[in-house]
Structures are given as C-alpha cells and as structure tokens.
Chains A and B, each alone.
Chain A
Amino acid sequence: MNPKHDHDDNDDIDIDIDIDALLRQSFDGPTPDAGFCDRVIQQLPPRRRRSAWPLVTGVLIGAVMCSLSLFSSPLWRAAWHGWLVGAWSSSTIIMLSTMAAMSLLALGWTLAEADDH
C-alpha cells in the first residue's frame, strides 16, 4: 500500500499518481463464502472412472492395422513361422515391435478422443 493514499478520502489527490497502488486499493479482495461452497459441493457429480475401452480398442485397432499392412509381405510369413515354432528370429522381433508401436499410437489417439468427450 502506498501511504500517500491512505489518509482521509477528502484530502487532495497526490499529483504523482501511483496506478499500481490505486488499482490494489480499488480491489475488494476475496469474495466471502456466503454459502457458495456448500452449493457447489452439493452439485459435484460422481467422478468418472477411467474405463478400459480405450485400451482394448487401441490395442485391437493397432493389431488389425498392422496385420492388414503386413499381410502380403514375406516378412509377415517369416515372422509368423518363427512365432509358431517359438524361434525369435529378427523378422519376429520386427513384427512384434511394429505391432506394439502401432498399438501404442492407436492407444494414444483413443485416449485423446476419450478425454475430449
């Protein structure tokens, strides 16, 4: 507070106007509660639980997209054979990594969409 503005309201205005002090003085401060909080608390809806559907949808969409894009590729067949016989060939690792990456991308997208709604 600027002391030069703290004296009687009927005193003459100081010629050197301190805008910051005047603005602060003209601000009444926080509004008293007056039952506001109780009204808001009564209106609070139950919190939404994050549902599992974005995760499941994301993984499924990612897996389907990956399968479709790699279906005609020899890499896919080699990876599939490797997977069936339990051999971790480089093509199997590439296939699983690609599927995981696409699933994560699709998961991110569905989470963003779920937040928007």
Chain B
Amino acid sequence: MADSAAEARIDQSLVARALLGDDRRAFEQLLRRHQGMVRAQLCRLLHGDEAAADDLAQETFLLAWRKLDQFRSEARFSTWLHRIAYSCFLQTYRTKAWAARHAEDDGMEQLPAPTNAMDLRLDLARAMRHLSSAEQAVLLHCVQLGLSHEEAAYVLAMPLGTVKTHATRGKAKLKTWLSAWHEAAGEERVP
C-alpha cells in the first residue's frame, strides 16, 4: 500500500513537471514506467496480437500526452492510462467486428480435457475466450492487471456492481468448465 502511494506520488510529480515545464523527459519517464502494463493490457484485449497492441499503445500514449492537463489525480496515473487504452481499443475495434473474426468457432464441449497443468493453462486461455467480452475485460483488469474493483469500474466505465457481477460470473463459469474437463480427464485415466 505504501509502495503504491509512493509510486502515485512519483507519477504526480512527473506529470506536474511534464505540464509546467513542457518537460518531455518527465513524460518519457512516465512512458517507461507504464508502457509494459499498458501494452500487456492491450495485448490481452487483442488476444495476443502484439503488433496491433503496440499500435494502440502508441495511440494511447500520444493521447495521454495531448490530454495530460486533464489528468486530475482522482485515479492513479496508471489507471488513467489503462482507461485511455481501453477507450482506444473500443473505438478502434468495436466497429471492425474484430472480435468476431478472432472468436474461436469451436464449442466448449469440443475442447479436449486437460491432462496436466500446462494443458490446464492453455485451456484456461481458450476458456477465457468463451466468456462474454465484458467478463473477459473485468477478469483481465481485476485479476491479471491487479486493479481493484473500483479502478476496473473506472477503466471500463462500468458501474461498480456490474464489475463485481461480471467478475463473479466469469470465475464461476471458468471453474465449472475447468472442473468438468478435469473430471473427464480423470475418467479417461481410470483403466
């Protein structure tokens, strides 16, 4: 918690330097501190398309540079960046039916049962794609990126209750699917 507060203070001072002195080096430090997580967020949202994620990440940081004076410190700087990145993602891909092109067309029942932990991780990734886009986004931000429910609600522009509901439902679905596969794998191993 203390680390998080210290990080937030460093970000705020860098933002102030970038704004008051038009200091590009301060913004460069902000960029270096946060590019990794923003690109990871976008890469996950784009199901591993690193080139598209980098394009969107670049757009995100250019937008952050232009709108830096609108950062009000009501959220952490990293959360603000995640919000811009998610907004860029929605604007770019909502109208392109990107999700439809990348959606897997095999049904859940066709997935083979995982036989070891590596299979389970691979199938977890495939199972994630069968969640609704809102459930995927909530689990990505709350569990994998480590945001609080409140921060995820800010990033995704969703009511807090909706975020909690999506998180609970998404985890329940994954647990059900993965448990079913586990049971199937157990039955196969029994002679």
Contact = CB atoms under 8 A, between A and B. Distances in A.
B46 to A, nearest CB: 12
B116 A12 contact: yes
Nearest to B32: A37
23 contacts: A7-B117, A8-B117, A9-B116, A10-B117, A11-B117, A13-B116, A13-B117, A15-B179, A19-B178, A22-B120, A24-B143, A25-B121, A27-B144, A29-B40, A31-B35, A31-B43, A36-B57, A37-B28, A37-B31, A41-B24, A45-B65, A45-B66, A47-B65
Contact of B40 (A9, A31, A43): A31
A24 B144 contact: yes
A48 B43 CA distance: 31
B120 A23 contact: no
Given A13-B185, A19-B143, 17 more contacts: A9-B116, A11-B117, A20-B143, A20-B171, A22-B121, A26-B124, A26-B125, A26-B144, A31-B39, A31-B43, A33-B32, A36-B54, A39-B58, A40-B58, A44-B27, A45-B65, A115-B70
Contact of B175 (A19, A31, A33): A19
A48 B66 contact: yes
A5 interface: yes
Contacts of B24: 41, 44
Interface in B86-142: 114, 116-118, 120-121, 124-125, 139
Contacts of A25: 121
Interface of A: 5, 7-13, 15, 17, 19-20, 22-33, 36-37, 39-41, 43-45, 47-48, 115
Interface in B143-171: 143-145, 171
Contacts of B182: 13, 15, 17
A61 B39 CA distance: 45
B62 A43 contact: yes
A7 to B, nearest CB: 8
B37 interface: yes
B36 interface: yes
Contact of A11 (B28, B32, B116): B116
A39 B178 CA distance: 41
